Structure 1
Amino acid sequence: MSSIINFKKIPKMKNINHIYLIGIGGSGMGGIAKILIKKGYKVSGSDLISNFITKNLISLGITIYFKHKIKNITNDIDLIVISSAIKHNNPELIIAKKLNITIISRVKMLAELMKFYYQITITGAHGKTTTTAMIYEIYKLSGLDPTFINGGILKYSKEYAYLGSSKYFITEADESDKSFLYLKPTIGIVTNIENEHLDYYKNNIEILKKTFLKFLKKIPCYGCIIICIDNIHNYELIKKNKFNIKQNIITYGSHKNSDIQLYNYKQKGYKTQFYILEKKTYSSFKINLSIPGYHNALNATAAYAVSKFNNLNNKIILKSLKNFQGIIRRFDILTTIYPEKRIGYQQTIIVINDYGHHPTEINMTINTARKIWPNRSLIMVFQPHRYSRTKNLLKYFIKVLSKVDKLFLLKVYSAGETFIKNADSEYLSKKINELGIIISQFINFKNYYNIAHYIYSKLKGNEILIFQGAGDINNLSSLFINKKFQNTKH
Structure 2
Amino acid sequence: MGAGGKGISAIKEWATKIGYEFTGSDDSSSGLHQNNELSTNQLNESKSYNKHFNNKKFESMKEEKNKSNWINIPENSTDFEADCIVTTGVIKKTHPQYIHAISKKIPIFHRADFLKQIIPENAISICVSGSHGKTTTSGMITWLLKTAKENPSYALGDKILEVGKLSELNKSKFAVIESDESDGSMQKLSGNWNILTNIDGEHMDYYETQENLNKAFNKFAVNNVISHISCFDKIFSEEKEADKFSHKEKSNAQLNNQLNNMHKINRTLHSYGIDSKEPILKSIKSNIYAENISINKDSMIFDVKGFFTEKSSGDRVYFNIENIMMNNIGKHNIENALSVILLAKNLINEGTYINDSTILKSMKTFPGMSNRMEGYSDSKNTYIMDYAHHPVEIKALLNCIKNREYKNVKIILEIHKYSRLFNNLDSFVKCLEGFENIIVAPIHSAGEIKDKQLDIKFFNMLNNFMKEQFDGSYNLTKVDKYNELEIYLDQTLKAEKDNKKENIRNLHKSGSKTEPNTFIFIGAGEICKFYRKIVDQLKSSSVIS
Same topology, TM > 0.5: yes
Query: Taking structure 1 as reference, are residues 55 and 307 closer, same or farther at Cα in structure 2, changes over 3 Å only?
Result: farther
Superposed, 1:76-91 pairs within 5 Å as: 77-91=82-96
Superposed, 1:380-459 pairs within 5 Å as: 380-420=411-451, 422-424=453-455, 426-435=456-465, 436=467, 437=469, 438-445=474-481, 447=483, 448-457=485-494
Residue aligning to 2:320? 284
Residue aligning to 1:330? 372
Residue aligning to 1:187? 193
Letter paired with 1:168? F
Q: Helix, strand or coil for the counterpart of 1:265?
A: strand
- Match of residue 69, structure 1, among 70, 76, 82: 76
Pair 1:275 & 2:303 matched? yes
Distance 2:189 2:223 in 1: 8
Structure (1 or 2) with the larger CA radius of gyration: 2
Give a deviation string over 1:262-282, Cα, whole Å, max 9, x none. 112222322221111114544
Distance 2:120 2:431 in 1: 41
**Stretch moving more, 28-37 or 304-313:** 304-313
- Match of residue 231, structure 2, among 222, 228, 233: 228
Q: Helix, strand or coil for the counterpart of 2:261?
A: coil
Q: Is the 8 A contact 1:452 1:480 kept in 2?
A: no
Query: Taking structure 1 as reference, are residues 287 and 48 closer, same or farther at Cα in structure 2, changes over 3 Å only?
Result: same
Residue aligning to 1:32? 11
Pair 1:313 & 2:354 matched? yes
Pair 1:151 & 2:157 matched? yes
The size of the alignment, in residue pairs, is 449
Deviation at 1:423, TM superposition (A): 2.6
Distance 1:306 1:237 in 2: 26
Q: For structure 2, which runs of at least 5 residues remain unmatched after alignment?
A: 39-66, 238-251, 279-285, 308-315, 498-514
Q: Is the 8 A contact 2:124 2:174 kept in 1?
A: yes
Q: Is the 8 A contact 1:377 1:462 kept in 2?
A: yes
Give a deviation string over 1:97-128, Cα, whole Å, max 9, x none. 33332222111111222373422110111110
Residue aligning to 2:24? 45
Distance 1:478 1:446 in 2: 13
Deviation at 1:309, TM superposition (A): 1.0
Q: Is the 8 A contact 1:209 1:233 kept in 2?
A: no
Letter paired with 1:185? G
Residue aligning to 2:262? 245
Superposed, 1:112-123 pairs within 5 Å as: 112-114=117-119, 116=121, 117-123=123-129
Letter paired with 1:336? D
**Stretch moving more, 91-100 or 393-402:** 91-100
Letter paired with 2:464? E
TM-score by length of 1: 0.85
Q: Is the 8 A contact 2:326 2:366 kept in 1?
A: yes
Give a deviation string over 1:231-262, Cα, whole Å, max 9, x none. 14398666444642212111111122321111
Distance 1:217 1:449 in 2: 48
Letter paired with 1:325? P
Distance 1:269 1:177 in 2: 37
Deviation at 1:459, TM superposition (A): 5.5
Deviation at 1:411, TM superposition (A): 1.1
Residue aligning to 2:115? 110
Give a deviation string over 1:82-104, Cα, whole Å, max 9, x none. 12223344333333333332222
Q: For structure 1, which runs of at least 5 residues remain unmatched after alignment?
A: 1-21, 339-348
Letter paired with 1:45? G
Give a deviation string over 1:56-84, Cα, whole Å, max 9, x none. 5569962243853315x423x11111122
Q: Helix, strand or coil for the counterpart of 1:70?
A: coil
Q: Is the 8 A contact 1:449 1:479 kept in 2?
A: no
Q: Is the 8 A contact 1:47 1:64 kept in 2?
A: no
Give a deviation string over 1:388-447, Cα, whole Å, max 9, x none. 0011100000101233221110111000001235432x3311111122225432112462
Give a deviation string over 1:326-369, Cα, whole Å, max 9, x none. 1111000122352xxxxxxxxxx211000110001100110001
Query: Taking structure 1 as reference, are residues 50 and 411 closer, same or farther at Cα in structure 2, changes over 3 Å only?
Result: closer
Letter paired with 1:430? N
Task: Tell me the percent identity.
Answer: 28
Residue aligning to 1:96? 101
Residue aligning to 2:136? 130
Distance 1:144 1:475 in 2: 34
Pair 1:263 & 2:291 matched? yes
Residue aligning to 1:16? none
TM-score by length of 2: 0.77
RMSD: 2.5
- Match of residue 254, structure 1, among 264, 274, 278: 274
- Match of residue 216, structure 1, among 221, 227, 230: 221
Q: Is the 8 A contact 1:266 1:273 kept in 2?
A: yes
Deviation at 1:42, TM superposition (A): 1.4
* Larger proportion of helix: 2
